[in-house]
Protein backbone atom coordinates (compact mmCIF):
# COMPACT_ATOMS: atom_id res chain seq x y z
CA UNK A 1 0.00 0.00 0.00
CA UNK A 2 1.55 3.31 -0.98
CA UNK A 3 1.41 6.47 1.02
CA UNK A 4 -1.25 8.00 -1.19
CA UNK A 5 -3.72 5.16 -0.60
CA UNK A 6 -2.92 5.29 3.15
CA UNK A 7 -3.76 8.97 3.17
CA UNK A 8 -6.96 8.54 1.17
CA UNK A 9 -8.00 5.71 3.46
CA UNK A 10 -7.37 7.92 6.50
CA UNK A 11 -9.47 10.67 4.93
CA UNK A 12 -12.27 8.26 4.07
CA UNK A 13 -12.32 6.76 7.57
CA UNK A 14 -12.24 10.15 9.25
CA UNK A 15 -14.69 10.53 12.11
CA UNK A 16 -16.17 14.00 12.12
CA UNK A 17 -18.11 15.22 15.12
CA UNK A 18 -20.31 18.11 16.06
CA UNK A 19 -19.17 19.56 19.38
CA UNK A 20 -20.91 22.15 21.55
CA UNK A 21 -18.59 24.15 23.75
CA UNK A 22 -19.36 26.15 26.85
CA UNK A 23 -16.24 28.18 27.39
CA UNK A 24 -15.42 30.57 30.22
CA UNK A 25 -14.86 34.05 28.86
CA UNK A 26 -13.43 36.71 31.12
CA UNK A 27 -11.84 39.93 29.91
CA UNK A 28 -9.44 40.38 32.81
CA UNK A 29 -8.94 39.78 36.52
CA UNK A 30 -11.29 42.58 37.52
CA UNK A 31 -14.26 41.74 35.35
CA UNK A 32 -16.79 39.01 35.94
CA UNK A 33 -16.57 36.02 33.66
CA UNK A 34 -19.30 33.86 32.18
CA UNK A 35 -19.78 30.83 29.98
CA UNK A 36 -20.27 31.42 26.26
CA UNK A 37 -21.64 28.77 23.93
CA UNK A 38 -19.97 27.86 20.62
CA UNK A 39 -20.60 25.05 18.18
CA UNK A 40 -18.05 23.40 15.90
CA UNK A 41 -19.46 21.25 13.12
CA UNK A 42 -16.43 19.41 11.77
CA UNK A 43 -14.23 18.37 14.64
CA UNK A 44 -11.96 15.48 13.70
CA UNK A 45 -11.83 12.71 16.32
CA UNK A 46 -8.04 12.55 15.92
CA UNK A 47 -7.58 16.22 16.82
CA UNK A 48 -6.07 17.06 20.15
CA UNK A 49 -8.21 19.12 22.51
CA UNK A 50 -5.99 22.16 21.96
CA UNK A 51 -6.20 21.74 18.17
CA UNK A 52 -9.96 21.82 18.54
CA UNK A 53 -9.59 25.12 20.46
CA UNK A 54 -7.26 26.38 17.69
CA UNK A 55 -10.00 25.55 15.21
CA UNK A 56 -12.50 27.51 17.26
CA UNK A 57 -10.12 30.47 17.47
CA UNK A 58 -9.59 30.46 13.72
CA UNK A 59 -13.32 30.59 13.27
CA UNK A 60 -13.67 33.40 15.83
CA UNK A 61 -10.82 35.38 14.23
CA UNK A 62 -12.47 35.07 10.81
CA UNK A 63 -15.70 36.39 12.30
CA UNK A 64 -13.78 39.32 13.81
CA UNK A 65 -14.32 38.14 17.38
CA UNK A 66 -11.72 37.94 20.11
CA UNK A 67 -10.16 34.45 20.22
CA UNK A 68 -10.28 32.36 23.41
CA UNK A 69 -7.00 32.73 25.28
CA UNK A 70 -5.45 29.64 26.81
CA UNK A 71 -1.99 28.60 27.93
CA UNK A 72 0.03 26.03 26.02
CA UNK A 73 3.59 25.45 25.00
CA UNK A 74 5.12 22.07 24.15
CA UNK A 75 1.88 20.21 23.39
CA UNK A 76 3.75 17.04 24.24
CA UNK A 77 2.56 16.67 27.84
CA UNK A 78 5.83 17.64 29.47
CA UNK A 79 5.93 21.40 29.99
CA UNK A 80 2.97 21.89 32.32
CA UNK A 81 1.73 25.02 30.58
CA UNK A 82 -1.66 23.81 29.38
CA UNK A 83 -4.30 23.06 31.92
CA UNK A 84 -8.01 23.76 32.01
CA UNK A 85 -11.03 22.23 33.67
CA UNK A 86 -12.79 20.07 31.11
CA UNK A 87 -16.28 18.99 32.12
CA UNK A 88 -15.39 19.81 35.72
CA UNK A 89 -12.19 17.74 35.84
CA UNK A 90 -8.66 19.11 35.67
CA UNK A 91 -7.14 18.15 32.29
CA UNK A 92 -10.32 16.29 31.35
CA UNK A 93 -11.58 12.74 31.74
CA UNK A 94 -8.41 10.70 31.06
CA UNK A 95 -6.11 9.61 33.89
CA UNK A 96 -2.58 11.00 34.13
CA UNK A 97 -2.92 13.11 31.02
CA UNK A 98 -2.36 16.79 30.35
CA UNK A 99 -4.93 18.82 28.40
CA UNK A 100 -2.74 18.78 25.29
CA UNK A 101 -2.59 14.98 25.30
CA UNK A 102 -6.36 14.66 25.43
CA UNK A 103 -7.86 13.92 22.02
CA UNK A 104 -11.33 14.51 20.69
CA UNK A 105 -11.84 10.74 20.33
CA UNK A 106 -12.50 10.82 24.08
CA UNK A 107 -15.77 12.63 23.28
CA UNK A 108 -18.83 11.70 21.29
CA UNK A 109 -20.60 13.40 18.41
CA UNK A 110 -23.01 16.00 19.76
CA UNK A 111 -21.32 16.27 23.18
CA UNK A 112 -21.39 19.50 25.14
CA UNK A 113 -18.02 20.24 26.74
CA UNK A 114 -17.58 22.71 29.58
CA UNK A 115 -14.20 24.44 29.56
CA UNK A 116 -13.25 26.56 32.56
CA UNK A 117 -9.98 27.92 33.91
CA UNK A 118 -8.29 26.48 37.03
CA UNK A 119 -9.83 28.33 39.94
CA UNK A 120 -8.14 29.30 43.22
CA UNK A 121 -7.54 32.59 45.02
CA UNK A 122 -3.81 32.16 44.41
CA UNK A 123 -4.45 31.67 40.65
CA UNK A 124 -6.09 34.89 39.40
CA UNK A 125 -7.56 34.71 35.90
CA UNK A 126 -5.57 36.76 33.37
CA UNK A 127 -8.03 36.26 30.54
CA UNK A 128 -10.48 33.53 29.57
CA UNK A 129 -8.80 30.18 30.34
CA UNK A 130 -5.41 31.69 31.15
CA UNK A 131 -4.55 31.95 34.84
CA UNK A 132 -1.55 33.41 36.63
CA UNK A 133 0.27 30.50 38.23
CA UNK A 134 3.37 32.44 39.25
CA UNK A 135 2.52 31.67 42.88
CA UNK A 136 4.00 28.23 42.18
CA UNK A 137 7.22 29.86 40.97
CA UNK A 138 7.31 31.91 44.15
CA UNK A 139 7.19 28.74 46.24
CA UNK A 140 10.18 27.38 44.32
CA UNK A 141 11.96 30.72 44.68
CA UNK A 142 11.51 30.49 48.46
CA UNK A 143 13.87 27.51 48.66
CA UNK A 144 13.37 24.91 45.95
CA UNK A 145 17.02 24.88 44.94
CA UNK A 146 20.51 24.18 46.28
CA UNK A 147 22.18 27.48 46.99
CA UNK A 148 25.82 26.39 46.77
CA UNK A 149 27.49 25.50 43.53
CA UNK A 150 27.86 21.73 43.40
CA UNK A 151 30.31 21.97 40.51
CA UNK A 152 30.67 19.31 37.85
CA UNK A 153 28.81 16.02 38.00
CA UNK A 154 30.55 14.19 40.88
CA UNK A 155 32.38 10.91 40.56
CA UNK A 156 29.61 8.33 40.87
CA UNK A 157 31.08 6.41 43.80
CA UNK A 158 32.08 9.36 46.00
CA UNK A 159 28.54 10.18 47.20
CA UNK A 160 26.41 7.07 47.18
CA UNK A 161 22.72 7.31 46.39
CA UNK A 162 20.82 4.03 46.35
CA UNK A 163 18.91 3.08 43.23
CA UNK A 164 15.60 3.19 45.13
CA UNK A 165 16.31 6.68 46.51
CA UNK A 166 17.41 7.96 43.11
CA UNK A 167 14.27 6.57 41.46
CA UNK A 168 12.06 7.92 44.21
CA UNK A 169 13.64 11.39 43.92
CA UNK A 170 13.13 11.23 40.18
CA UNK A 171 9.45 10.32 40.64
CA UNK A 172 9.03 13.41 42.83
CA UNK A 173 10.94 15.53 40.31
CA UNK A 174 8.48 14.52 37.59
CA UNK A 175 6.03 17.26 38.69
CA UNK A 176 5.49 19.63 35.77
CA UNK A 177 3.91 22.38 37.89
CA UNK A 178 0.66 22.59 35.93
CA UNK A 179 -1.47 23.41 38.97
CA UNK A 180 -4.08 20.67 38.46
CA UNK A 181 -3.59 19.62 42.10
CA UNK A 182 -4.57 23.10 43.31
CA UNK A 183 -7.55 23.25 40.95
CA UNK A 184 -8.75 19.83 42.07
CA UNK A 185 -8.23 20.25 45.81
CA UNK A 186 -11.34 21.22 47.77
CA UNK A 187 -9.09 23.43 49.92
CA UNK A 188 -7.09 24.83 46.95
CA UNK A 189 -3.95 23.50 48.58
CA UNK A 190 -0.60 23.49 46.81
CA UNK A 191 0.70 20.74 49.09
CA UNK A 192 1.32 18.20 46.31
CA UNK A 193 3.31 20.67 44.21
CA UNK A 194 5.35 22.00 47.13
CA UNK A 195 5.97 18.58 48.61
CA UNK A 196 7.16 17.07 45.35
CA UNK A 197 9.98 19.59 45.26
CA UNK A 198 10.74 19.34 48.98
CA UNK A 199 10.90 15.56 49.00
CA UNK A 200 12.85 15.38 45.74
CA UNK A 201 15.60 17.48 47.35
CA UNK A 202 15.26 15.74 50.73
CA UNK A 203 15.97 12.36 49.12
CA UNK A 204 19.31 13.47 47.67
CA UNK A 205 22.55 14.21 49.54
CA UNK A 206 23.24 17.55 47.84
CA UNK A 207 22.04 20.51 49.84
CA UNK A 208 21.24 18.42 52.95
CA UNK A 209 22.60 21.20 55.16
CA UNK A 210 19.89 23.64 54.15
CA UNK A 211 17.05 21.11 54.05
CA UNK A 212 15.39 22.34 57.28
CA UNK A 213 15.49 25.97 56.21
CA UNK A 214 14.33 25.07 52.71
CA UNK A 215 11.32 23.15 53.98
CA UNK A 216 10.19 25.81 56.44
CA UNK A 217 10.70 28.65 53.93
CA UNK A 218 8.79 26.88 51.16
CA UNK A 219 5.91 25.81 53.40
CA UNK A 220 5.63 29.29 54.91
CA UNK A 221 5.68 30.87 51.45
CA UNK A 222 2.94 28.48 50.31
CA UNK A 223 0.80 29.55 53.28
CA UNK A 224 1.51 33.26 52.71
CA UNK A 225 0.46 33.03 49.08
CA UNK A 226 -3.06 32.09 50.15
CA UNK A 227 -3.16 28.41 49.29
CA UNK A 228 -5.29 26.22 51.54
CA UNK A 229 -4.11 23.37 53.75
CA UNK A 230 -3.97 19.67 52.96
CA UNK A 231 -6.64 17.38 54.44
CA UNK A 232 -5.38 14.23 52.70
CA UNK A 233 -8.41 13.66 50.47
CA UNK A 234 -5.86 12.41 47.90
CA UNK A 235 -7.81 13.93 45.00
CA UNK A 236 -4.66 15.71 43.79
CA UNK A 237 -2.80 12.51 42.92
CA UNK A 238 -5.80 11.12 41.06
CA UNK A 239 -5.95 14.14 38.73
CA UNK A 240 -2.19 14.74 38.51
CA UNK A 241 -0.92 14.25 34.93
CA UNK A 242 2.31 12.86 36.38
CA UNK A 243 0.69 10.71 39.09
CA UNK A 244 2.83 12.40 41.77
CA UNK A 245 2.32 10.42 44.98
CA UNK A 246 0.51 11.93 47.96
CA UNK A 247 3.22 10.33 50.11
CA UNK A 248 5.35 13.30 49.06
CA UNK A 249 2.99 15.38 51.19
CA UNK A 250 3.59 13.04 54.13
CA UNK A 251 7.32 13.45 53.61
CA UNK A 252 6.93 17.23 53.49
CA UNK A 253 5.04 17.05 56.79
CA UNK A 254 7.82 14.90 58.24
CA UNK A 255 10.51 17.32 57.05
CA UNK A 256 8.53 20.31 58.32
CA UNK A 257 7.79 18.80 61.74
CA UNK A 258 11.42 17.72 62.05
CA UNK A 259 12.65 21.20 61.12
CA UNK A 260 10.34 22.79 63.70
CA UNK A 261 11.41 20.35 66.42
CA UNK A 262 15.16 20.82 65.98
CA UNK A 263 14.81 24.58 65.79
CA UNK B 1 -5.35 18.52 64.41
CA UNK B 2 -3.52 15.23 64.02
CA UNK B 3 -2.24 15.07 67.60
CA UNK B 4 -5.57 15.95 69.23
CA UNK B 5 -7.33 13.59 66.83
CA UNK B 6 -5.07 10.68 67.72
CA UNK B 7 -5.47 11.38 71.43
CA UNK B 8 -9.25 11.31 70.96
CA UNK B 9 -8.86 7.99 69.09
CA UNK B 10 -6.98 6.61 72.09
CA UNK B 11 -9.73 7.86 74.39
CA UNK B 12 -12.39 6.15 72.25
CA UNK B 13 -10.72 2.77 72.88
CA UNK B 14 -10.52 3.27 76.67
CA UNK B 15 -14.09 4.60 76.86
CA UNK B 16 -15.38 1.64 74.84
CA UNK B 17 -13.54 -0.91 76.99
CA UNK B 18 -15.03 0.69 80.11
CA UNK B 19 -18.51 0.66 78.62
CA UNK B 20 -18.30 -3.04 77.79
CA UNK B 21 -18.98 -3.61 81.49
CA UNK B 22 -22.59 -2.67 80.69
CA UNK B 23 -22.89 -5.98 78.85
CA UNK B 24 -22.36 -8.02 82.04
CA UNK B 25 -25.38 -9.67 83.73
CA UNK B 26 -27.56 -6.83 85.17
CA UNK B 27 -26.85 -7.17 88.93
CA UNK B 28 -23.12 -7.60 88.40
CA UNK B 29 -23.01 -4.87 85.73
CA UNK B 30 -24.72 -2.34 87.99
CA UNK B 31 -22.27 -2.68 90.88
CA UNK B 32 -19.19 -3.04 88.69
CA UNK B 33 -20.09 -0.12 86.38
CA UNK B 34 -20.89 2.23 89.26
CA UNK B 35 -17.68 1.23 91.04
CA UNK B 36 -15.71 1.86 87.87
CA UNK B 37 -17.36 5.28 87.40
CA UNK B 38 -16.59 6.17 90.99
CA UNK B 39 -12.96 5.13 90.53
CA UNK B 40 -12.63 7.29 87.40
CA UNK B 41 -14.08 10.40 89.00
CA UNK B 42 -11.88 10.17 92.09
CA UNK B 43 -8.55 9.19 90.58
CA UNK B 44 -6.04 12.06 90.19
CA UNK B 45 -4.34 10.64 87.09
CA UNK B 46 -7.70 10.09 85.39
CA UNK B 47 -8.68 13.62 86.38
CA UNK B 48 -5.58 15.06 84.69
CA UNK B 49 -6.21 12.96 81.57
CA UNK B 50 -9.83 14.11 81.52
CA UNK B 51 -8.70 17.75 81.42
CA UNK B 52 -6.38 16.90 78.53
CA UNK B 53 -9.40 15.28 76.89
CA UNK B 54 -11.62 18.36 77.29
CA UNK B 55 -8.79 20.51 75.94
CA UNK B 56 -8.29 18.12 72.98
CA UNK B 57 -11.96 18.27 72.03
CA UNK B 58 -11.85 22.06 72.20
CA UNK B 59 -8.58 22.47 70.27
CA UNK B 60 -9.66 19.90 67.66
CA UNK B 61 -12.94 21.78 67.14
CA UNK B 62 -11.39 25.25 67.00
CA UNK B 63 -8.66 24.03 64.64
CA UNK B 64 -11.34 22.56 62.36
CA UNK B 65 -13.20 25.88 62.29
CA UNK B 66 -9.98 27.78 61.57
CA UNK B 67 -9.03 25.41 58.73
CA UNK B 68 -12.51 25.61 57.21
CA UNK B 69 -12.33 29.39 57.13
CA UNK B 70 -8.85 29.18 55.60
CA UNK B 71 -10.05 26.78 52.89
CA UNK B 72 -12.98 29.06 52.11
CA UNK B 73 -10.59 31.97 51.63
CA UNK B 74 -8.21 29.93 49.46
CA UNK B 75 -10.91 28.76 47.07
CA UNK B 76 -11.67 30.87 44.04
CA UNK B 77 -15.14 31.23 42.60
CA UNK B 78 -16.84 27.88 42.17
CA UNK B 79 -16.85 25.89 38.94
CA UNK B 80 -20.02 25.91 36.85
CA UNK B 81 -19.45 22.24 36.02
CA UNK B 82 -17.76 20.48 38.91
CA UNK B 83 -16.92 16.78 38.74
CA UNK B 84 -13.94 16.91 41.09
CA UNK B 85 -15.72 14.57 43.48
CA UNK B 86 -14.76 11.58 41.37
CA UNK B 87 -11.21 11.82 42.72
CA UNK B 88 -11.88 11.42 46.43
CA UNK B 89 -14.08 9.67 48.99
CA UNK B 90 -17.14 11.61 50.14
CA UNK B 91 -16.27 11.23 53.81
CA UNK B 92 -12.79 12.66 53.27
CA UNK B 93 -14.43 15.82 51.94
CA UNK B 94 -17.14 15.96 54.60
CA UNK B 95 -14.99 15.80 57.73
CA UNK B 96 -16.43 19.09 58.98
CA UNK B 97 -20.03 17.89 58.59
CA UNK B 98 -19.27 14.54 60.23
CA UNK B 99 -17.36 16.31 62.98
CA UNK B 100 -20.27 18.67 63.58
CA UNK B 101 -22.64 15.72 64.00
CA UNK B 102 -20.21 14.14 66.47
CA UNK B 103 -19.87 17.44 68.34
CA UNK B 104 -23.65 17.90 68.56
CA UNK B 105 -23.88 14.35 69.86
CA UNK B 106 -21.19 15.09 72.46
CA UNK B 107 -23.22 18.01 73.79
CA UNK B 108 -26.22 15.69 74.27
CA UNK B 109 -23.98 12.95 75.68
CA UNK B 110 -22.44 15.31 78.26
CA UNK B 111 -25.83 16.76 79.16
CA UNK B 112 -27.45 13.36 79.67
CA UNK B 113 -24.69 11.46 81.49
CA UNK B 114 -21.68 13.56 82.42
CA UNK B 115 -23.62 16.49 83.90
CA UNK B 116 -26.10 14.45 86.03
CA UNK B 117 -23.20 12.31 87.30
CA UNK B 118 -21.01 15.26 88.25
CA UNK B 119 -23.61 17.76 89.42
CA UNK B 120 -26.99 15.98 89.45
CA UNK B 121 -28.87 14.19 92.19
CA UNK B 122 -28.30 10.49 91.45
CA UNK B 123 -29.46 7.79 93.85
CA UNK B 124 -26.87 5.34 95.21
CA UNK B 125 -26.53 1.60 94.71
CA UNK B 126 -26.12 -0.85 97.59
CA UNK B 127 -22.38 -0.14 97.74
CA UNK B 128 -23.04 3.58 98.11
CA UNK B 129 -21.75 4.48 94.66
CA UNK B 130 -23.75 6.85 92.44
CA UNK B 131 -26.07 4.75 90.27
CA UNK B 132 -24.99 5.81 86.79
CA UNK B 133 -25.84 2.32 85.54
CA UNK B 134 -29.60 2.74 86.01
CA UNK B 135 -29.51 6.16 84.30
CA UNK B 136 -27.80 4.59 81.28
CA UNK B 137 -30.18 1.62 81.13
CA UNK B 138 -33.28 3.82 81.41
CA UNK B 139 -31.98 6.19 78.72
CA UNK B 140 -31.52 3.41 76.19
CA UNK B 141 -35.04 2.01 76.66
CA UNK B 142 -36.20 4.67 74.20
CA UNK B 143 -35.95 3.70 70.54
CA UNK B 144 -35.41 7.26 69.30
CA UNK B 145 -32.47 7.59 71.68
CA UNK B 146 -30.89 4.41 70.30
CA UNK B 147 -31.40 5.71 66.74
CA UNK B 148 -29.82 9.04 67.70
CA UNK B 149 -26.81 7.12 68.98
CA UNK B 150 -26.64 4.98 65.85
CA UNK B 151 -26.56 8.07 63.60
CA UNK B 152 -23.88 9.76 65.69
CA UNK B 153 -21.74 6.63 65.88
CA UNK B 154 -22.01 6.11 62.13
CA UNK B 155 -20.84 9.69 61.61
CA UNK B 156 -18.00 9.02 64.03
CA UNK B 157 -17.11 5.85 62.12
CA UNK B 158 -16.76 7.68 58.80
CA UNK B 159 -14.89 10.48 60.55
CA UNK B 160 -12.38 7.92 61.81
CA UNK B 161 -12.20 6.14 58.47
CA UNK B 162 -10.56 9.24 57.04
CA UNK B 163 -9.22 10.80 60.22
CA UNK B 164 -6.99 8.03 61.48
CA UNK B 165 -4.73 7.59 58.44
CA UNK B 166 -4.90 11.30 57.67
CA UNK B 167 -3.52 12.11 61.12
CA UNK B 168 -0.62 9.71 60.65
CA UNK B 169 0.14 11.33 57.27
CA UNK B 170 0.04 14.81 58.80
CA UNK B 171 2.57 13.72 61.39
CA UNK B 172 4.77 12.62 58.52
CA UNK B 173 4.81 8.86 58.00
CA UNK B 174 5.79 8.56 54.35
CA UNK B 175 7.07 5.02 53.99
CA UNK B 176 4.77 3.32 51.42
CA UNK B 177 4.63 -0.07 53.20
CA UNK B 178 3.88 1.39 56.60
CA UNK B 179 1.27 3.63 54.99
CA UNK B 180 -0.53 0.62 53.56
CA UNK B 181 -0.52 -0.95 57.03
CA UNK B 182 -1.76 2.28 58.64
CA UNK B 183 -4.60 2.53 56.13
CA UNK B 184 -5.72 -1.04 56.88
CA UNK B 185 -5.38 -0.51 60.63
CA UNK B 186 -7.46 2.66 60.23
CA UNK B 187 -10.27 0.76 58.50
CA UNK B 188 -10.25 -1.99 61.16
CA UNK B 189 -10.18 0.64 63.90
CA UNK B 190 -13.09 2.63 62.43
CA UNK B 191 -15.23 -0.48 61.93
CA UNK B 192 -14.40 -1.88 65.38
CA UNK B 193 -15.22 1.40 67.13
CA UNK B 194 -18.47 1.80 65.19
CA UNK B 195 -19.65 -1.74 65.93
CA UNK B 196 -18.43 -1.64 69.52
CA UNK B 197 -20.24 1.58 70.38
CA UNK B 198 -23.37 0.50 68.56
CA UNK B 199 -23.62 -2.92 70.18
CA UNK B 200 -24.01 -1.47 73.70
CA UNK B 201 -27.18 0.67 73.19
CA UNK B 202 -28.65 -2.04 70.96
CA UNK B 203 -28.02 -4.75 73.59
CA UNK B 204 -29.56 -2.64 76.34
CA UNK B 205 -32.59 -1.79 74.20
CA UNK B 206 -33.21 -5.40 73.17
CA UNK B 207 -32.82 -6.69 76.74
CA UNK B 208 -35.22 -4.18 78.20
Per-residue confidence at A1, pLDDT binned at 50, 70, 90?
low
Which residue did the predictor score with more confidence, A3 or A174? A174
pLDDT tens, position by position, for chain B (208 residues)? 999 999 999 999 999 999 999 999 988 999 999 999 999 999 999 999 999 999 999 999 999 999 999 999 999 889 999 999 999 999 999 999 999 999 999 999 999 999 999 898 888 888 889 999 999 999 999 999 999 999 999 999 999 999 999 999 999 999 999 999 999 999 999 999 999 999 999 999 998 7
User: B81–A114: do the CB atoms touch at under 8 Å?
Assistant: yes
Q: What pLDDT score was predicted for residue B104?
A: 97
Can you tell me the mean pLDDT for A42-63?
Answer: 96
pLDDT in tens, A93-112: 999 999 999 999 999 999 99
Of A168, A184, A190, A232, which to mutate for an interface test with B (greatest number of B Cβ within 10 Å)? A232
- Report CA torsion sign: A241, B67, B59, A222: positive
User: B172–A231: do the CB atoms touch at under 8 Å?
Assistant: no
ipTM value for the complex: 0.92
Closest CB from A120, A247, A251 relative to B75: A120
Q: Which residue is closest to B88 within chain A, CA to CA? A: A235
Q: What pLDDT score was predicted for residue A3?
A: 80
Answer whether CATH 1.10.3720.10 is correct for domain A12-127.
no
Closest CB from A90, A228, A250 relative to B71: A228
pLDDT in tens, A135-163: 999 999 999 998 888 778 878 788 889 99
Can you tell me the mean pLDDT for A181-204?
Answer: 96
Q: What pLDDT score was predicted for residue A209?
A: 87
Q: What are phi and psi of A195, to 5 degrees?
A: -70, -30
**DSSP H or E stretch at residue B136:** helix B132-139
- Report CA torsion sign: A133, A134, A139, A141: positive
- On the question of pLDDT at A258 being above 70, the answer is yes
Which residue did the predictor score with more confidence, A74 or A154? A74
Q: What pLDDT score was predicted for residue B200?
A: 95
Give the three-state DSSP class for B92.
Answer: helix
Which residue did the predictor score with more confidence, A262 or A230? A230
CA distance B202 to chain A (A): 33
- On the question of pLDDT at A213 being above 90, the answer is yes
Query: Considering the domain A134-148+155-262 in this protein, what is its CATH number?
Result: 1.10.1060.10
Q: What are phi and psi of A179, to 5 degrees?
A: 95, 5
Output the DSSP codes for B23-81: GS-HHHHHHHHHHHHHHHHH-HHHHHHHHHHHHHHHHHHHHHHHHHHHHHHH--SPPSS
Closest CB from B73, B80, B173 relative to A114: B80
The count of residues in chain A is: 263
Closest CB from B83, B95, B169 relative to A249: B169
Tell me the pairing of strands A34-44 and A16-25: antiparallel
Q: Which residue is closest to B164 within chain A, CA to CA? A: A232
Can you tell me the mean pLDDT for A73-81?
Answer: 95
Q: Mean pLDDT for chain A?
A: 94
Q: What pLDDT score was predicted for residue A253?
A: 97
> Structural domain boundaries of chain A?
12-127, 134-148+155-262
Per-residue confidence at A10, pLDDT binned at 50, 70, 90?
confident
Can you tell me the mean pLDDT for A234-261?
Answer: 97
Amino acid sequence: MNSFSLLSEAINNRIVMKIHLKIWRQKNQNTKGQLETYTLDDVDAEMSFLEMLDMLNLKLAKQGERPVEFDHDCREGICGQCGVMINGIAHGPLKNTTTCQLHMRSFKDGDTIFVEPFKAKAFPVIRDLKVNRSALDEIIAAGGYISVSTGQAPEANSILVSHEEAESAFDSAACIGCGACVATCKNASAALFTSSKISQLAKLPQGKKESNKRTVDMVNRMEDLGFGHCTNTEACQVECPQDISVLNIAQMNYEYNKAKLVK
Amino acid sequence: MALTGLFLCFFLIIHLLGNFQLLLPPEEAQLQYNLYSDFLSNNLVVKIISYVLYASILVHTLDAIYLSIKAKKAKGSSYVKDKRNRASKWYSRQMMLLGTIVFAFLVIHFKDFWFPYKFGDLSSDINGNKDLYTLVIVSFQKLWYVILYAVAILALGFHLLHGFFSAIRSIGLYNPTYNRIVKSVGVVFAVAITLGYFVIPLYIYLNA
